[in-house]
Amino acid sequence: MNQMQRPPDPTNLFERLDQLNQIGVALSKETDINRLLEAILVAAQKITHADGGTLYRMTEERTLKFEIMRNDTLGIAMGGTTGKPISFYPLHLFDKDGAPITSMVAAYAVHHDESVNIADAYTEEGFDFSGTKNFDKKTGYRSQSFLTVPMKNHENEIIGVLQLLNSKDSATGAVTAFSTEDQQLAESLASQAAIALTTRLLINHLENLFESFISLINAAIDDKSPYTAGHCARVPQLTMLLAEAVNEVSVGPLSEFSMTDKDRYELKIAGLLHDCGKVTTPVHVVDKATKLHTIFDRIHLVDTRFEVLKRDVEIASLQARLKTGVDAADELVHQLAEIENDRAFLHVCNVGGELMSDADQDRVRKISKKYRWRNVEGEAADFLTDDEVENLTIRAGTLTAAERQIINHHIEVTIQMLEALPWPKHLKNVAEYAGGHHERMDGKGYPRGLTREQMSVQARCMGIADIFEALTAKDRPYKKGKTLTESLTILGKFKLGGHIDPDLFDVFMWGKVYLKYADQFMDRHQIDDVDLSKIPGYTPPPAK
């Protein structure tokens, strides 16, 4: 070295070691990669009194990518959380023939697995500082002392390089060479930083793997039915929109509710898994588009019987004419018209509606007894089987009580699956959040009949999200997606009927969560102008 280092100060060194310990603790707690990388460089500058520096990360292509650049004198801060990208190309560690490049200090530190401490770049021999000198010419800056330290993970692999620039004397501000203590502290910090970075990258990788596995499950569920495709993705989105609105509200009973990033992640995972139990639900129940649908729509079997019935009536009419000589054409036309009328009626009944009247249900039962036919065994039988009558008289929707029980069972399976997993502490509420979206505030929901007081805000948010998504979904087999006004009207009635959380409904309306969701997921024709004064249960937000 051709420049004097600062003399060691035992008192100052003790303080810097304590500072190093504090930095290590802080780095281990950082969860955001960009903030972590930035914190590493800032901490290294602080502990070595460096005016600037660069943090490189090793790429899969074995190059050094610029991640963070800082220079306090020039006011330069790039990469990390600054939002200012670094436009420099990565540093190559090997030439085109595969030979190691050692003329660049950072590359040299990697290939020799050692720190490089340079007192003055302008007098140091053996390294190419042409780029540094060009930078100085453009800016008027004087790049002098350099300390370059490789960052190695727990497997002794170099994952990055920490390069510090221009150590300054704390008393005079003069640029000095990095001292031996500076180098030791920087090396210790680089080691801690590498472990913290590797740990965070590993956690991120595991989280990504976990979420990808969840997406795989949801894709399998959605793939079972074209009618529910997207449900597993939309409900979490709406849940988070509502939860964020609650987090931001400053008035009303929920103004004290708040979420951390960990809380958000936990709710996100719960939302993604809220219907995982549907992997056990039979496809023919999920896909039941009409009341007589199983593997196929059995209304066509009923149509065949009607055709046989018409043929029998025509044959009977011809036989009577041959026997008596009397032409009963008018009566035959009347009979055929009556049969066609009953067939058309059953076709209408086969489509699941909002509410089937008692009169229509009775008519289905009368038609079943009104006509007789011979079944496949050649025996005289009612025109409709008991199962067909049960299905065609479903009051609302397309599912019988037994089929609805099968559908409802998915939430029990969901809870069983999620409670069986060894969740870490920050995800311990996933099963409770996901398992509560079919409960009601009045305790009349399922599967556990929980009341509002027994449920978390997050679980109640998911309940509203699940209902609103179902109301507005345009891909259901038994209905078209409702408009905003229609959906909010039903949701408002649910508030008044004790079905959903009234305070969350208010936030849902005040924060226009429904409109944010509609802009992302609903068709344009569904997004009508909502007259809030006509929405049941709507109350304006209180004054702040």
Q: Which long-range contacts (CB under 8 A, 24 or more apart) does 260-265 make?
A: 261/31, 262/426, 264/240, 265/426, 265/427
β pairing state of 175-176 and 158-168: antiparallel
Q: pLDDT digit string (tens) for 278-316? A: 887 776 666 666 767 766 667 878 888 888 888 888 888
Helices (H) then strands (E): counts for the chain: 18, 10
Give bridge partners of residue 78 from the DSSP assignment: 69
Give bridge partners of residue 56 from the DSSP assignment: 66, 161
Q: Please, what CATH class does the domain formed by 10-202 belong to?
A: alpha beta
**Coil vs helix vs strand at 39:** helix
Residues 6 or more apart whose CB falls under 8 angstroms from that of 225 comprise 283, 286, 287
Residue 504: its pLDDT value, please? 97
Q: Please, what CATH class does the domain formed by 225-286+402-534 belong to?
A: mainly alpha
Q: pLDDT digit string (tens) for 31-61? A: 788 888 888 899 899 999 999 999 999 999 9
Residues 6 or more apart whose CB falls under 8 angstroms from that of 98 comprise none
0.85 exceeded by the pTM?
no
Q: Which ranges of the chain have pLDDT less than 50? A: 1-4, 10-11
Q: pLDDT digit string (tens) for 494-526? A: 999 999 999 999 999 999 999 999 999 999 999
Give bridge partners of residue 116 from the DSSP assignment: 148
Q: pLDDT digit string (tens) for 376-416? A: 777 888 888 888 888 888 888 777 777 777 777 888 889 99
Residue 3: its pLDDT value, please? 47
Cα–Cα nearest to 30, from 187, 157, 203, 184 = 203
Q: How many beta carbons lie within 10 A of that of residue 338, not counting itself?
A: 12
Domain residue limits, the chain: 10-202, 225-286+402-534, 299-398
Residue 475: its pLDDT value, please? 60
**Coil vs helix vs strand at 244:** helix
Cα–Cα separations (whole angstroms), residue 5 to 72, 177, 346, 382: 21, 5, 96, 105
Cα–Cα separations (whole angstroms), residue 184 to 42, 57, 190, 218: 17, 21, 10, 51
Residue 225: its pLDDT value, please? 66
